[in-house]
Amino acid sequence: MQSNKSKKGIQWDKYMVYVIFVVVFVLFAVVLGDEGFLNPNNLINILRQTAMISIMAIAGTFVMAAGQIDLTVGSVTAMTAMIAALIIQSTDNIILAVAAGVGFGCAVGMINGLLVTRLKLPAFLATLGMMQIVRGAAMWITDTAAVPIGNAAFNKIFGIGSVAGIPVLILWTILFYIAGILLFNKTAFGRHTLATGGNEMSAIYSGIKTAKVKVIAFTMSGAFAAFAGIMYAGRMQAGRYSYGDGDEMSVIASVVLGGTSMAGGTGSVIGALFGSILMGMINNALILAGLSSAQQTMVKGAIIILAVAISNLTQRKKER
Amino acid sequence: MADYILEMRGIEKSFGVPVLKNVDFRLKKGEVHALVGGNGAGKSTLMKIMTGVYSKDLGSILVDGQEKQIHDTHDARKNGIGMIFQELSLVPTMTVAENIYLGEEIVSKGLRDTRYMNRRAGEVLEELGIDVDPQAKVSSLSVGLSQMVEIAKAVAKEAAILVFDEPTASLSEAETRQLFKMIGNLKEKGVSMVYISHRMSEIMEIADSITILRDGTVVHVGAIADIDLDGIIAHMIGGTSDKKFDWVERKIDKSGADILTVEHLKVNAQIEDISFSLKKGEILGFAGLMGSGRTEIVETLFGLRSKMAGTIKLKGAQINPKSSKEAVDAGFALIPEDRRQKGLVLIHSVKENAILPIVSRLRAKGIFVDEKAADQIVENNIRQLNVRTDGIDKRINLLSGGNQQKIVIAKWLNMSTEIMMLDEPTAGVDVGAKAEIIDLIRGFADTGKGVIFISSELTELMAVCDRIMILYDGRISGELERKDIKTEEELQYAIQQK
């Protein structure tokens, strides 16, 4: 009996997100059923709205499992949307627009990685600075003017279209998650990432180039954020400097809710998906319940604190 | 006035197994008292009881003739007992004066009286002959000076008894001289000191009296003038030499080519001109005192430090590993000294730890890890190395030290390792697992591979090595064929010589 109990205690952080997910879902279904929470359109809407956060949370899991943090993702979505919109506007070439946008994301991620590994800056400060630079650049490039996207194909593929009744945003999310889960759980790189975050010294003594692991994780994070930016652009049919404002916090909260420790060394990609949908669900419920956007923001903040508190508690349980 | 400033009577302590058995220790006022013994003899435990880090099971402690209860380090300090820790306990980002008064800041009108503390700290430093600006940041000081500041900190708190635990391990020759001068000054001021060291020459020079411990009991107490180096070594080793680790002479093809040749390797300013070679199937021991450069040399071979000069040849081909990955790819393995910090990811499972170096080579289809093969490898490791665990998915930190260490070794048995370097592989490992690990190393060498074995436990070096290289202050000071070493005393004696 006793050993059963302690086993549950160790596993609690792994399954926490699913338990909370089910509890919150049932709660909303009962309380907000009359407001249309369970309406299939509403549920699909939740998934659509969280698609960008969900995709960024995949790479966020790698970054945080490696013991790092990336605050640039929100601003990268904005700058990528601007780049893609401007290229569509001038050349009408979708492939060029996507390649340039993702290339930009990779570049920002790589710079983050090099700042952390070469200049030994703490990830928090390096990406905080980069966040400001990128956000500023997104404002500066058109002097804060929005850039409409007239290419219907682009908008359909990345934002508003659907295949067999399933919105493309959800299809992209599924595609990225399959890739992310395989990469994290099934490849040597996933193991190296966890070892880097779990005990960098041991990883180095095991012949792993931990600096390379970190640079790849940051580059991935930039690339995934760039793709999320392209999705924002497609969905809104325009590039705007204000996209993704505060997304970095939502991503971190999703990843931590999903069972990835802030200290690194543990992580779950599928957990991050549930974490992000959980956040989207709560958002949606707050709107249905008639809360103002000011009130929503406050609740979001409370969720982040809760997520980190639970992460810390389970961490402490482990140390005991 | 009592005869002794400090007296420990009938001290007993056990951590499951008895570590101290009815130990008496007496310290006179104003003397330097050397505390000597092999690894695990109980020196550190005894001093930790005196300074309140551990509590005793039995016995009494008298300070100035009066019995005192020392429950924690705070009690010890109240009684004037200070310890100079091996790992410095200074805050590097604060100034010297701030560190000296840390936790006992002088306050006037609710604010820290910085000026007074700087002046007073300056006076203490000057009295001790330490040339340091009290307002300098500790991070800007050398290791030696930091240690001096650590001592000043204890003196400023009016410690009457100071404990030094291997104080010179990381000091240069000049810094050691300065430390000794300071110890002389303190002695004149009536401070009593306990001096723990493995360096007998230092003890002969600086100590007034000596207590020798062996296996948790006092085997000799007396004045330093009445004993010589041979006498100390004889007492330390005594007749209890561990019979569990018998040496078995091994057949090595001495005429064959070297598997590893190192010539004139220079690691840093202290460690240089290191030349040695290793034959196929040979186990080479590195013996030496703490700070003699053993660890640094193997870390350089493993690509963790960049060498300043010299050549490394593996099977005749020159290599220059610039990272641990390059060293591993070349066929090197290093079992590091600190298992928990460097050898394992404690929050991960047995399996994840065991396959960490090899995981990038375990590919079944395309880029994915072959989990079945991985499981099989780890299952084999557990069986062959007799690892006691509930399964391969158990968290590694739940295993005992010996079983953890077997997994660290398994990591490298799974690779195509040519040269295995082991740095204190049996530290914190129980006797049974120790013998198993020694067998494992022999078995590995028997397959025609090379082994470099570092240990402070001479019994082990004597049991497992074919040849022993002796290091002193970053130079090779001697080399002995195992069959020419008759007793552990001989080896201990060799280690003490420059």
CATH number, domain at B368? 3.40.50.300
Whether residue A216 lies within 8 A of chain B, CB to CB, comes out as no
CA distance A106 to chain B (A): 22
> Alpha helix locations (H) across A69-160?
73-91, 94-117, 123-140, 152-155
- H or E element that contains A162: strand A162-163
Across chain B, mean pLDDT equals 88
* Residue B217 shares a structural domain with residue B286: no
Q: How many interface pairs between A and B have CB atoms less than 8 angstroms apart?
A: 80
Name which of B336, B347, B368 is nearest A186 (Cβ-Cβ). Answer: B368
If asked whether residues B170 and B298 sit together in one domain, one would say no
Question: Which of B33, B295, B12, B47 has its CA nearest to residue B165?
Answer: B47
Average pLDDT, chain A: 90
Residues in A closer than 8 angstroms to B362, CB to CB, are 188
If asked whether residues B286 and B181 sit together in one domain, one would say: no
Confidence at A319, pLDDT banded by 50, 70, 90: very low
Query: Which of B325, B367, B369 shows the shortest C-beta gap to A207?
Result: B325
Same structural domain for residues B233 and B263? no
For residue B397, the number of C-alpha atoms closer than 13 Å in the C-beta half-sphere is 12
Higher pLDDT, A289 or A155: A155
What is the rounded distance in angstroms from the CA atom of residue B167 to the CA atom of residue B199? 10
Q: Judge whether A3 lies within some domain.
A: no
Residue A7 lies in a domain: no
- Percent of chain A's residues with pLDDT above 70: 92
Could you say which of A10, A187, A191 has the minimum Cβ distance to residue B356?
Answer: A191
Is residue A120 a part of any domain in this protein?
A: yes
CA distance A144 to A146: 6
Nearest-neighbour CA in chain A from B455: distance (Å)? 19
- Touching check for A95 and chain B: CB below 8 Å? no
- Per-residue tokens: B216: 């948790």
Its domain, for residue A58, covers 19-313
Cβ <8 Å between A192 and B355:
no
Q: For residue B371, which of A195, A212, A203, A191 has the smallest C-alpha distance?
A: A191
State the nearest Cα–Cα gap between A31 and chain B, in angstroms. Answer: 40
Residues B89 and B150 in one domain: yes
Separation in Å, CA B26 to CA A235, B6, B64, B213: 82, 6, 11, 13
Residue A200 parent element (H or E):
helix A200-205
Report d(CA B485, CA A68) in Å as an integer: 53
Number of domains observed in the structure of chain A: 1
Domain assignment present for residue B150? The answer is yes
Give the pLDDT confidence score for residue B245 in this predicted structure.
67
Which tens digit of pLDDT belongs to each residue from A83-121?
Answer: 999 999 999 999 999 999 999 999 999 999 999 999 999
Cβ–Cβ contact A312 with B under 8 A: no
Nearest residue, CB atoms, B348 vs list A182, A187, A194: A194
In a domain, B253, yes or no: no
Domain ends where: B237, B266, B284? B237
B212 and B275 housed in the same domain: no
What per-residue confidence (pLDDT) applies to A311?
Answer: 62
Q: Are B432 and B331 contained in the same domain? A: yes
Q: Report the domain count for chain B.
A: 2
Q: Kindly state whether residue B19 falls inside one of the protein's structural domains.
A: yes
The answer to the question of residue A118 being in a domain is yes
In a domain, A29, yes or no: yes
Residues spanned by the domain of B56: 6-237
Q: With CB atoms and an 8 Å threshold, state whether B362 touches A194.
A: no
**Do B154 and B277 belong together in one domain?**
no
Q: Is A194 on the interface with B (CB under 8 A)?
A: yes
Interval A139-193: pLDDT, tens: 999 999 999 999 999 999 999 999 998 999 999 999 999 999 999 999 999 999 9
* pLDDT the model gives residue A6: 37
Q: Is the residue at A127 inside a domain?
A: yes
Record: contact B343-A318, CB cut-off 8 A = no
**Whether residue B91 is found in the same domain as residue B219:** yes
Of B302, B343, B363, the CB nearest to A202: B343
- Residues of B with CB below 8 A from A199's CB? 341, 344-347
d(CA B395, CA B350): 6
B246 in a structural domain: no
Establish if B78 belongs to a structural domain: yes
Q: Hey, are the CB atoms on A199 and B327 less than 8 Å from each other? A: no
> Based on the domain organization, do B302 and B360 belong to the same domain?
yes
Closest residue in A to B344 (Cα–Cα):
A202
Locate the chain B residue with the closest alpha carbon to A204: B324
On whether residue A9 sits in a domain, the answer given is: no
Residue A317: pLDDT over 60: no
For residues B21 and B161, membership in a common domain is answered with: yes
**Closest residue on chain A to B298 (Cα):** A205
- Mutation target to probe the A interface, by most A beta carbons within 10 A, among B299, B305, B346, B347 is B347
Q: B355 with B231, same domain?
A: no
CA dist., res. A235 & res. A49, Å (int): 10
Whole-number Å distance between alpha carbons of A84 and A89 = 8
Q: Do A209 and B346 touch (CB under 8 A)?
A: no
Chain B residues with beta carbon closer than 8 angstroms to that of A191: 352, 355-356, 359, 369
CB–CB contact B345 A203 (8 Å):
yes
For position A264, which CATH number holds? Answer: 1.10.3470
Residue A170, in any domain of the structure: yes
ipTM: 0.85
Q: Which residues of B453-489 are buried (b: 16+ CB within 10 A; e: fewer)?
A: bbbbbbbbbbbbbbbbbbbbebbbbbebebeebeebb
Using an 8 Å CB-CB cutoff, list chain A residues near B328.
206-207
Q: Which residues in chain B show pLDDT less than 70?
A: 1-2, 85-88, 239-245
Closest Cβ opposite residue A207 in set B328, B336, B345: B328
User: Which pLDDT score is estimated for A8?
Assistant: 37
Angle at which helices B114-127 and B143-156 pack, to 10 degrees? Answer: 110
CB A255 within 8 A of CB A93: no
